[in-house]
Structure 1
Amino acid sequence: MTHLSRRRWSALVLWLVTALGVPLSAFAPAEANNVRIAHTLFGVHDSSLLSHSHVHDGSVRLWDVGVQWRDIEKSPGVYDFARLDQLVTAAQAAHESVTMVLAMTPSFYAPATPTDPPGKLQHFTDFVSAVMHRYRSFHGKRGISSYQVWNEANISTFWTGSMTQMAKLSKIVHDVGNRVDPQATIVSPPMVTRLGYQLDWLKKFYGMKLGGTPVWKFYDALGFSLYPLPTYGGRPGGPEDSMRQLGQVRSRLRSDHVPASVPIWNTEVNYGLQTGSLGGTPATPISSAKQASYVARTYLLNAAARVKRVYWYRYDLGAFSSGATLANTLLSQPGSPSVVTPAGRAFALVQKWMHGSLVGSGSHAPCAKDRHGTYTCVVKDSSGTRRIYWNPNRKGRVRLASSARHAQTILGAVSKVKGGSRLTVNYRPVMVYH
């Protein structure tokens, strides 16, 4: 549709609405609820250069990989980019989009700890400027495409400054980006979202203004760490719980008058992380099949909710002598990132399932849920239509399309099905195609 025809369409709809009293929703184009899937949706936190070629991620977020501010600036004004160069070079070779987290103050600038802001903001300005100058073009092409202001600013593990100080750091990254690398995407400090006090901090922060400017205007995208609680009523927390948290986040953003058009990135997610007195202890293990299902459901649900990036925190290093980790869903074997798990294979397979566009219906977003809790995601591309089904809590029954001929499990097994028949589904997504 050309720009002119779009204007004519709008004028016709406006006339019909005013003259005939026809609801505007009746004239919304059906494709308005569709979601085109970009490869950059499939992001990871990668603790090893080896795993880039094994799970086929489209984007990578550099955190906990030895490139914090304090790792790079060795003494005042002296930068060691060797490790960051290595990571960016590897990402370029794998055709990944890179997000860099700008956080953790060097000891010679911090009043007390790396989680404090620097004593002089000019030091942060100089660091951000040096990084952006170096990676706006690296080896003759884009090096780092996105910069995130700090990490998880609403928990004291990573930030012990004030909200106002965080807003000032955000303005610095915004202003330096405009001056040095206007094409870079500036992402807000991610907020943890699973506890009440974290949501309260989030709401207060986005209700702030700095010099009369709402803080959200410093960002091109808003980042959140959508880890759910480890359990809910005795059952493990899963992707659907993470999406309920996203609903709570969006409610608070609306109350702060943040436009819904500002993109949201899920900059950290995994499952099973303990809280309270158990925080930092191993996650309770879950089966390989459940891990694979969590990966697929996470990317389907986030995409349907119009989240633009989802960075899976791999936790692929064994955090304990037993080889256990802080999360329960692992893309690779702990300590051996080149050994891909069933969840890692599901990460690659769901990208094939989701190739094209997720399709909504009428006024409904994609991946609708029926009254029994069974989800249906419809995906279309030039090869045809695929339908993906699951029910996270119980068995469900779905009626297959008349064209259905094959079904594939998230672990890759393929079987024949009869079009128009009924299929029993459970927590493990199954994709049905012609």
Structure 2
Amino acid sequence: MHIEGAEGGAWASAPFGALRLWDNGTAWSQIELEPGVYKWDNLEGALENAQSKGMTDVLMVLGTTPEWNAKEVNPDDYPQPGAASAPKDLAAWDAWVTEVATRYGDRISSYQIWNEANLKNFFNGTPEEMAELTKRAYDIIKKIDPDALVVSASPSTRLTGPFDKFFPAYLKALGEKGWPVDVFAVHTYPAADGDPAARGVLLDAVKGYLTEAGAPDLPLWDTELNYGLAGPGDLPKQDITGARAAGFVVRTYIDDLRYGVDRSYWYIWTPREYPLLGVQAFPGSDAEQGFFA
């Protein structure tokens, strides 16, 4: 699950088994504001909140790049200019990963290298550069905390062009580096008019690329998903309500068993309606009961 405001004490009223920190102000560019100067407030707040709720399974996303270490700075980068750049100084990446893993130890159970690295507003480097970041982080984390899981960068599957260009090349580069991951990750938002069956088609494509690459038999995580988001192209956002909303939630997690997805992180539990999303998840929402099924 993702939780809006987890860094400030917010929590979901529905049950869930693992927390992913993204859009909580906990990425590299939001913490290391200057070289060697760290603002830990949001990450500390999120981890303290999780600990107080008995949640020990926490996935942290390591990227994005601080502006001071960006090769190029674009205004459309998310969450801020420069964040989508490959780091110009890899030693700074190494230092960041070392700092986080050393400071938090087993309070963070898994680390994801990057979010949606096939989309230019999240990462505008190459698959090979992302594989290098993955390998360096893997080696550092395993030395500090051998029990922590290292999760691959998660490409988004809904735009087939960027996905088909990035994912096979990233897998090839990872293979050449000895597969320095414990978990493969993807994001399976289908098109705006897509349903769980459409998500299944995307998962089939993911599994096909893993097979073609000769990837090892590692867990597969869907680290971000929802339905009804506008696009691709001119497809308008779809509001998924009533029993259909709860049904999408239930079907998603049943399909995980069918497709061999070891876990999925719903995006996002909020205190109120979140206009971006087709399936709303907040207290009293139509989808809420789906999480209790």
TM exceeding 0.5: yes
2:17 to 31, 38, 58: 58
Residues 126 and 183 of structure 1, relative CA distance in 2, 3 Å threshold = same
2:141 to 177, 181, 206: 177
- Residue in structure 1 matched with residue 252 of structure 2 by the alignment: 298
Q: Take 2:66 and 2:266, find their aligned partners in 1: how far apart are those partners? A: 27
Q: Contact 2:241–2:287 (CA<8 Å) still a contact in 1?
A: no
- 1:103 partner SS: coil
Letter in 2 for 1:330: Q
2:71 to 93, 111, 114: 111
Matched, 1:153 2:112: no
- Residue in structure 2 matched with residue 202 of structure 1 by the alignment: 167
Q: Looking at both structures, which has the greater relative contact order when contacts are Cα pairs under 8 Å and sequence separation is at least 6?
A: 2
Q: Take 1:99 and 1:78, find their aligned partners in 2: how far apart are those partners? A: 23
Matches within 5 A, 1:259-270: 259=216, 261-270=217-226
1:278, CA displacement in angstroms? Answer: 4.2
Letter in 1 for 2:220: I
- Residue in structure 1 matched with residue 228 of structure 2 by the alignment: 272
Deviations along 1:379-417, whole A, 9 cap, x unmatched?
A: xxxxxxxxxxxxxxxxxxxxxxxxxxxxxxxxxxxxxxx
Q: Take 1:324 and 1:68, find their aligned partners in 2: how far apart are those partners? A: 21
1:229, CA displacement in angstroms? Answer: 1.1
1:177, CA displacement in angstroms? Answer: 1.1
1:200, CA displacement in angstroms? Answer: 3.3
Q: Take 2:124 and 2:248, find their aligned partners in 1: how far apart are those partners? A: 33
Q: Contact 2:158–2:232 (CA<8 Å) still a contact in 1?
A: no
Matches within 5 A, 1:14-163: 44-49=1-6, 51-96=10-55, 97-112=57-72, 113-136=82-105, 142-163=106-127
1:199, CA displacement in angstroms? Answer: 2.6
1:277, CA displacement in angstroms? Answer: 4.2
TM-score by length of 2: 0.90
Q: Take 1:91 and 1:224, find their aligned partners in 2: how far apart are those partners? A: 24
Structure with the largest fraction of helix: 2
- Residue in structure 1 matched with residue 189 of structure 2 by the alignment: 227
- 2:210 partner SS: helix
Deviations along 1:3-62, whole A, 9 cap, x unmatched?
A: xxxxxxxxxxxxxxxxxxxxxxxxxxxxxxxxxxxxxxxxx1111235525112211110
Letter in 1 for 2:61: V
Matches within 5 A, 1:183-194: 183-194=147-158
Q: Percent identity?
A: 31
Q: Contact 2:222–2:265 (CA<8 Å) still a contact in 1?
A: yes
Q: Contact 1:243–1:302 (CA<8 Å) still a contact in 2?
A: no
> Structure 1 residues 182-191 or 56-65, which shifts more?
56-65
Letter in 2 for 1:199: D
- Residue in structure 1 matched with residue 275 of structure 2 by the alignment: 325
Unmatched tracts of structure 1, length 5 or more: 1-43, 137-141, 232-236, 333-338, 351-434
- 1:74 partner SS: strand
Residues 324 and 88 of structure 1, relative CA distance in 2, 3 Å threshold = closer
> Structure 1 residues 190-199 or 60-69, which shifts more?
190-199
CA-based RMSD of the aligned residues comes to 1.9
Q: Take 1:143 and 1:324, find their aligned partners in 2: how far apart are those partners? A: 29
Q: Contact 2:154–2:186 (CA<8 Å) still a contact in 1?
A: yes
- 1:268 partner SS: strand
Residues 246 and 277 of structure 1, relative CA distance in 2, 3 Å threshold = closer
Residues 201 and 317 of structure 1, relative CA distance in 2, 3 Å threshold = farther
- 2:287 partner SS: helix
1:271, CA displacement in angstroms? Answer: 0.2
Matched, 1:238 2:202: no
1:195, CA displacement in angstroms? Answer: 2.8
- 1:186 partner SS: strand
Deviations along 1:145-199, whole A, 9 cap, x unmatched?
A: 0000011111112001111211110011101012111110000000111232113
- Residue in structure 2 matched with residue 397 of structure 1 by the alignment: none
- Residue in structure 1 matched with residue 286 of structure 2 by the alignment: 342
Q: Take 1:244 and 1:99, find their aligned partners in 2: how far apart are those partners? A: 26
Unmatched tracts of structure 2, length 5 or more: 73-81
1:283, CA displacement in angstroms? Answer: 2.2
Q: Take 2:172 and 2:259, find their aligned partners in 1: how far apart are those partners? A: 23
Residues paired across the two proteins, number? 280
Q: Tell me which structure has the larger Cα radius of gyration.
A: 1
Q: Contact 1:315–1:327 (CA<8 Å) still a contact in 2?
A: no
TM-score by length of 1: 0.62
Q: Contact 1:192–1:227 (CA<8 Å) still a contact in 2?
A: yes
Q: Take 1:312 and 1:132, find their aligned partners in 2: how far apart are those partners? A: 25
Q: Contact 2:3–2:10 (CA<8 Å) still a contact in 1?
A: yes
Q: Take 2:181 and 2:187, find their aligned partners in 1: how far apart are those partners? A: 16
- 1:61 partner SS: strand
Matches within 5 A, 1:360-399: none
- 1:223 partner SS: strand
Q: Take 2:208 and 2:239, find their aligned partners in 1: how far apart are those partners? A: 32
